[in-house]
Amino acid sequence: MVGVPRSSGCQLCRKRRVKCDEARPGCGNCRKYGAECPGYERGIKFVSGKHQIRQRGKRSDNEGSVASGSSNSSAGSVTPPGEPSPPGADTLVKSLRPNRAEFIGTIIATVRTNITQSDVSGFLSWVDLGRLGSRAVLDGAMSSLAMHLVGKERADEDMIAYSRSVYGKSLVALQTSLRHETEWRSSETLCAAMLLCVFELFAGTTSSDSWLAHAKGIGTLMKERGPAAHATGWDASMILAFRGVLIMCDMFFPQSDVCFLSLPEWKPIIKDGGRHLIHPQEQPDRVIHIVDNFFECLAELPAILAPAYVLRESRAMGTVHEPGPEKVAALAQRALRCRELFAQWYRDFKTLNVMPEEVPTQDPSSPFALVLQYRVLWIGSMHMGYWASMLILQDALVQFRYLELDSEEQARRDELVRNILRSLETVGSGTMGPYRVGFAVRIAYEVASPEHQRWVLTLLDRFNKTYAATDRATYPEPKPEENVEWELLD
């Protein structure tokens, strides 16, 4: 109808074609019906040329692609925050035009430009950018994650809402690819699945731990593809980048008695071995070998953690059915071997000049006057991973009746917990911080003092703004003060 202006209401009201009161931060209709108001902006506007007016009923050959203008025009730019942007999720996911790669490349460049203080120089380096623009499932997954990271860093709620819209459509595209007779084996499908799982780690979807179910599915997909499919090239880079997430999934969501990455046929696959597949070329081979050995040790933990956890929880509830003495002895020996492997690894790790220094805290709420600061943040993350692993092994040996939690062992436990908690302020900083510390803080929380548990919960509220996997709802309530000694000595 001529003369009727386009609606400026929220995205949901425009979609439903109802009048919007345009209230801020959420409109009245969304509040009334209990819906999350998606906001008023229209996502990201990709500009690569001058606007052209065409006659009614005519359609240019290039229309339908993400970028406006001709396909051979120069790369455009992302609209600055605050400017209106049209919705484009359908086009992004469904269009197979090659200049969609320019759009996605611009978003990725924005990620690397905006998240300068988050130690993400190597994050997403395993994505083969040359594959972008050819498969919609990969393009949508890449865009959803990249836009979400930038949106979180800029505190841009409209970009975050748009990233969720693209995520939803990309998930449908992924399900279609996985059902395809041959496409399920493709590298692009695997990469899209991994990117959407990482999206869930940061964004949360139906629940804060939805990433666990998704990671479980990725593990199944990798096993179906087989070790040889991940031995070289891009596929090798992907499994190296995702090995930590796969191991974490098996710790908290075990699928079998052992993590599949600890099996003989998979052990060589999760080692870079100096190929520099996910490491900078200037990284010494010795450093890469030490990092590889850490993940080899870590892959042994799920087989120890699962039975130890069952014993601890069943004893706490008074429903324990002790396994036979031979099985308990075998589990204890496995835990001892794993502990020695970690101890040897840590001795090698310390030769890299990676020890932290103590610095005054900058956090007024911190219970520690001095915190640990690291030369490089990923080094701090590996320290924390080692300390958390040693906590797991100590508790396992207690549950397997090999160790008594006497004053000496209690002092070791307290030191490990203290080291992890004193690292949170520095290693947990920035957009990627919660990703680096999530595993270690979850383990330390279980045996921390009530005072420290309450402090950790306040940090989780802060972390959860950028990293959904640290949702405090997945943590138990702090222990009462009077029960601390009884629980630690149980």
C-beta separation of 303 from 257 below 8 A = yes
C-beta separation of 191 from 128 below 8 A = yes
How far is residue 368's CA from residue 379's CA, in Å, rounded to a whole number? 21
Q: For residue 65, what are the β-bridge partners?
A: 63
Q: CB 337: neighbour CB atoms within 10 A?
A: 12
Q: For residue 78, what are the β-bridge partners?
A: 46
How far is residue 76's CA from residue 99's CA, in Å, rounded to a whole number? 10
Residue type present at position 446:
E
Report the sign of the C-alpha dihedral through residues 359, 364, 369, 371, in that order.
negative
Q: pLDDT value at position 484?
A: 44
Q: pLDDT value at position 333?
A: 96
Helices 377-399 & 285-298, crossing angle to 10 degrees?
Answer: 30
Question: What token pair was written down for 371?
Answer: 């915190």
C-beta separation of 455 from 444 below 8 A = no
Q: pLDDT value at position 206?
A: 62
Q: How many residues does the chain have?
A: 490
Residue type present at position 65:
S
Helices 285-298 & 325-350, crossing angle to 10 degrees?
Answer: 160
Question: What token pair was written down for 55?
Answer: 């006659």
C-beta separation of 406 from 360 below 8 A = no
Beta-carbon contacts of residue 465 (< 8 Å; ≥ 6 apart): 152
Please report, in tens digits, the pLDDT of each residue of the chain (490 residues total).
333 334 578 888 877 778 888 877 788 888 776 677 887 665 433 333 343 444 444 443 433 333 333 333 333 333 333 333 333 434 444 443 445 556 666 666 665 555 544 444 456 778 887 888 778 899 999 989 888 888 887 888 898 899 999 999 999 999 999 999 999 999 999 999 999 998 988 887 666 677 888 899 999 999 999 999 999 999 999 999 999 999 998 988 887 889 999 999 999 999 999 999 988 889 999 999 999 999 999 999 999 998 888 888 787 777 767 778 898 899 999 999 999 999 999 999 999 999 999 999 999 999 999 999 999 889 999 999 999 999 999 999 999 999 998 999 999 999 999 999 999 999 998 878 888 999 999 999 999 999 999 999 999 988 887 788 888 888 889 988 754 443 443 4
Reading phi first (left if > 0) and then psi (alpha if -120 to 50, else beta), residue 120 is in alpha
How far is residue 75's CA from residue 47's CA, in Å, rounded to a whole number? 8
pTM summary value: 0.75
Diameter of the chain measured on Cα atoms: 84
Q: pLDDT value at position 370?
A: 97
How far is residue 314's CA from residue 361's CA, in Å, rounded to a whole number? 40
Query: Would strands 370-373 and 357-360 be described as parallel, antiparallel, or unpaired?
Result: antiparallel
